[in-house]
Amino acid sequence: QKEVEQDPGPLSVPEGAIVSLNCTYSNSAFQYFMWYRQYSRKGPELLMYTYSSGNKEDGRFTAQVDKSSKYISLFIRDSQPSDSATYLCAMSAGGTSYGKLTFGQGTILTVHP
Amino acid sequence: GAGVSQSPSNKVTEKGKDVELRCDPISGHTALYWYRQRLGQGLEFLIYFQGNSAPDKSGLPSDRFSAERTGESVSTLTIQRTQQEDSAVYLCASSPAGGSRGISHTFGSGTRLTVV
């Protein structure tokens, strides 16, 4: 079993829809939770970063972490065609392992006009 | 430079040959990371350099893989005796420091390695 599981999709939604992306994990040592966006043939770029449980909002994006359920989510409101990309969740245990991120498989999202 | 630069962007090599992949991190970033991304998969941690500390090599898949970093600048990932399963995109990232600031990785565009 992988430490981080993410539904690869693909997910296709109409412009303006609310998108929900999710990951589950098994390692209870994870303390830092991130969402990266990756466009085709580019490196991932950091979208959101959350420490421990709770919610964080940034514009149209909201990240949620539920450590008791080992479940994290990213919500995208009013989705745009420019949001079409692969979304990767990533996690770190911190401590001496800050730099070691464990990634999910990535979910391919297409937002059509 | 403005971002993390990787070269070459594409590399095709014959099975059994050695390859070297280069990464130029953002100036001033003390931490540098290498990841591997196989087709349709997430990123797989390989190695982590932080300043003058001994690198964390725990993700290197075999002794055919090695990496070096000169001070806080350029890093080279070397794969010896390449195998077809080494075909992947190799991504380099850097961050301003270790610790919690190391969480925020800035990635390069990667080197796409194909072993034929």
Q: What is chain A written as a DSSP string? A: --SEEE----EEEETT--EEEEEEE--TT--EEEEEEE-TTS--EEEEEEESSEEEEETTEEEEEETTTTEEEEEESS--GGG-EEEEEEEE--GGGTT--EE---EEEEEE-
Q: Does A32 reach chain B within 8 Å, measured CB to CB? A: yes
Q: Does B105 reach chain A within 8 Å, measured CB to CB? A: yes
Say yes or no to pLDDT of B93 above 70.
Answer: yes
Q: Which residue of B has its CA nearest to A87?
A: B42
CA distance A78 to chain B (A): 26
Q: Which contacts of A49-57 are long-range, i.e. CB under 8 A and separated by 24 or more positions?
A: A49/B103, A49/B104, A51/B100
Q: What is the mean pLDDT of residues B55-82?
A: 94
Nearest to B100 among A45, A94, A105 (CB): A94
A94: chain B residues, CB-CB within 8 Å = 100
A41: chain B residues, CB-CB within 8 Å = 109-110
CB pairs under 8 A between A and B: 70
Q: For residue B96, what pLDDT band results from cuts at 50, 70 and 90?
A: confident
Say yes or no to pLDDT of B102 above 70.
Answer: no
Q: Does A72 reach chain B within 8 Å, measured CB to CB? A: no
Q: What is the mean pLDDT of residues B90-95?
A: 95
- Averaged over successive runs of 10 residues, the pLDDT of chain A (113 residues) comes to 87 97 95 94 92 91 95 97 96 80 94 96
Q: Does A99 reach chain B within 8 Å, measured CB to CB? A: yes
CA dihedral (B51, B52, B58, B63) in degrees, to 10, reads 120
What one-character DSSP code corresponds to residue B59? T
Instruction: Give A70: exposed, middle or buried? Use CB within 10 Å, 0-12, 13-18, 19+.
Output: middle
CA distance B98 to chain A (A): 7
